[in-house]
Chains A and B, each alone.
Chain A
Amino acid sequence: MLKVIGKNELGKLLEKLNDKFRIIAPVIRQYGKKERVEYHQVEDFDEIFLDRQPDTPPKKFFLPQNERLGEEKSGEQVFETGDRKTLIFGVRSCDLKAIDILKPVFLDNDFTDTYFEKRLENTVMFGLGCSKRQENCFCDSLGIDPLDAENIPVYMYDDGERLWFDVRAGELEEFFADLPDGNSEELERLKKDWQSGFEDTKIGIEVPIPFPELVAFNAPFWKEVAANCLGCGVCTYYCPTCFCFGFFWEKREEEIDKWRTWDSCMFPLFTKHGSGHNPRETQDQRTRQRIMHKFSYHPHNFEGVPACSACGRCISQCPVNIDLRVILKTAEKHLKDEEGVKSGG
């Protein structure tokens, strides 16, 4: 069903949903001079801010930065899911895709990650189309539709004045039943308009995915693209798909809790052996690992899908403005040249 309401009426709808769901939505937070859009649990629905992509991805609701796994001596697991299901409101196509990218990693047949699985089962996401390109994003270059997503119970559109709800899950229809119907032709016209805005600004990345492993690994450009990299973990911690982790332990009286925590391939300690040997000693090796993991290793292992949803946060948040698109373009040029050499061209 297609429904449409004025944006000022959103509160009433969320009020109803609030009985059944813990509602997480993008809100503005001001820290000193910095204005950020972040996902938080909302009580005051007027706070919700949908005008731009949130600065942080919703990854932490599936993989919290610090997550208590359980008590080690007893082996007792802890699952911290609340009384209500979680509804994450206004998740854009890139971030929806990112969760899809994480699924086969954590729900594999060999070792299903129960913590991720339970959070996923306990969460519903309402998608939100992008009526214009967001800062530094390039989802359309990786085949992601900024105006639609699969397997989403509700996908929304914001035309500035009104919010459109494409309700696809029967069990949620009750919340929308008494809202005014939307005119699907009108929505199609709007979408076409927005779509053309994306086409006008598309970069077009024609890099082969997966990157051919050895050719790309041994390519000469890694030092160049990583020359100004500071070696912090911002790109990985703001990435909606980066999932590398580590463990730490915390004593509570007699009990010992095992925690899982985000870790980053950009940190030297990540791969440093006890002996002091480090297979990824330098920053360009670590940058190579990050990019190769996303565009070569991961798609090799997971049906050609890169571990990147092109949200652009690694670019926007990088303290020295390193641009993933430039790295991909560099790789594109090199890998194409290499291809040309191979085919005798």
Chain B
Amino acid sequence: MESKYSEISKNIQEEAKKLLSQGKVERIIGFGRGVFTGEITPIFVTEPERAEELLFTPECDMMLAKYLLDYKGSKTGIVAKPCDTRAITVYLAEELIKREDIFIIGINDCEGLEENDACEECGVRNPVVVDLEIGQPREEEIEVEIADELEDMSPEERFEYFQKEFSRCIRCYACREACFVCACDECFVDSNQPQWVGSSIGKRDNFTFHLMRAMHMAGRCINCGACEIACPEGINMRALTKHLYRAARDVFQFEPGLNPEEKTLFATYRLDDSEQGFLD
């Protein structure tokens, strides 16, 4: 097992070194390891000599796609898990980044990450868009189901569950910042004219924040689990968004981040769309 990841890391380093020294990219966004922490941290490699700092292990659970938005207009390479490529696909579909600005080093045959429960609900094991593949693609299809603990709850039970879960929120916005979908120029939380949501950690404000955020996720969230991993308070962040993922899939046969040519759910309108509500 270990050798598989050191093999992947070695390949990434070699390819990164080539790309950087040939001037094909200006930088590569990837994973490295902290000097003191020994933990995985996103790094930005600009010199070929530093390519050996790049690595890949099952601990690499951060989503890197969002950093691409910091480097619009300059050729940037990115080490991408299949979920990262789905995020990139959503960005391409929403025209937030240009395909020619990025170079995707995609990792094939992803077996999921150690700490991320969302991986158990992910059937995408190979990159969706890719410029250079690392490892052999996994050919067989994977059957997964997305658990939805809300499904069998009555509205009252759901409400009680949310209240309890989100009462722990300290409004640090780690979920929002870790989420690639949360890339608005100005988040509704940061608007003071008008103020949509109060800054207290009271039940009402916390609930408003998470519900409003979730509503922006429908048809865009890929259930990558970044929000949940980022949450320092251990809140079941995906309780809301998973429900919406399933709704988008079951009602509109739409799963975001699989096809860059396809417009996102909220960007399309068809006369024969079902009128079923998301909150039913």
A residues adjacent to B (C-beta < 8 A): 31-34, 36, 55, 65-66, 136, 203, 227-228, 230-234, 237-238, 246, 248, 250, 259, 261, 263-264, 267-269, 272, 274, 315, 317, 319-323, 325-326
Residues of B close to A267: CB separation below 8 A: 173, 190
Residues of B close to A230: CB separation below 8 A: 66, 174, 177-178, 230
Tell me which of B43, B173, B174, B176 contacts A228 (CB under 8 A): B43
Bound CA–CA A323/B40 (angstroms): 11
Contact A32 B234 (CB under 8 A): yes
Residues of A close to B117: CB separation below 8 A: 32-33
Q: Which 10 A-B pairs have the closest CB atoms?
A: A31-B234, A34-B234, A230-B177, A319-B230, A232-B174, A232-B177, A228-B42, A321-B39, A233-B172, A321-B41
Instruction: Name A246's closest neighbour in chain B (CB-CB).
Output: B199
A-B contact count (CB 8 A): 101
Bound CA–CA A232/B91 (angstroms): 21
Contact A319 B235 (CB under 8 A): no
Contact B230 A32 (CB under 8 A): no
B residues adjacent to A (C-beta < 8 A): 34-37, 39-44, 62, 66-67, 115, 117, 168, 170-174, 176-178, 190, 192-193, 198-202, 228-230, 232-236
Bound CA–CA A66/B170 (angstroms): 10
- Expressed in whole angstroms, the minimum distance between the Cβ of B32 and any Cβ of chain A is 10
- Expressed in whole angstroms, the minimum distance between the Cβ of B253 and any Cβ of chain A is 30
Contact B201 A66 (CB under 8 A): yes
Residues of B close to A32: CB separation below 8 A: 117, 228, 234, 236
Bound CA–CA A317/B234 (angstroms): 11
Contact A31 B44 (CB under 8 A): no
Contact A259 B200 (CB under 8 A): yes
Tell me which of A34, A228, A233, A261 contacts B200 (CB under 8 A): A261
Contact B177 A228 (CB under 8 A): no
A323-B36 contact, Cβ under 8 Å, with A66-B200, A237-B170:
yes
Contact B177 A319 (CB under 8 A): yes
* A-B contacts, 14 listed (Cβ < 8 Å): A31-B234, A55-B232, A66-B200, A233-B174, A238-B232, A248-B199, A250-B200, A261-B201, A274-B193, A315-B37, A319-B230, A321-B34, A323-B37, A326-B36
Bound CA–CA A321/B34 (angstroms): 8
- Expressed in whole angstroms, the minimum distance between the Cβ of A256 and any Cβ of chain B is 14
